[in-house]
Amino acid sequence: MEKKGFSKFTAVLGNIANNRYLTAIRNGMSIIIPLVIIGSCFTILLNFPSEAWKEWIAPWSSKLAIASTFTIDFMAIYVCIGITCSLCDQYK
């Protein structure tokens, strides 16, 4: 009896997982993971909680902030492009 309920549950989850739009959202968001990791590294470099580090990195902080800005701050734009490209690939 329990197997029958489990198979119904997996069938419903399979239908949800195969939904074209949800798949496009999943793929579009997974595309930006490398950008998020790179942007996070630059954010950590800029905001490391040590006064000595902040004084040492100060001459380069404006250049490092550019990398952080173009990765983390524009994340919504990258996600929209990724979802759009993924959905276009599914529709061919």
Per-residue pLDDT, 9: 80
Residue 3 predicted with pLDDT over 80: no
The residue assigned the tokens 């040492």 is 56
**Please, what is the Cα angle at 14 between 11 and 18, to 5 degrees?**
145
pLDDT in tens, 25-68: 999 999 999 999 999 999 999 988 889 999 999 999 999 899 88
User: Nearest to residue 24, comparing CAs of 75, 82, 92?
Assistant: 82
Looking at residue 2, what is its pLDDT?
A: 57
Contact 32, 78 (CB under 8 A): yes
Residue 49, SS3? coil
* pLDDT tens string 22-32: 999 999 999 99
What tokens were used for 52? 């000595």
Where in the chain are the domains? 20-91
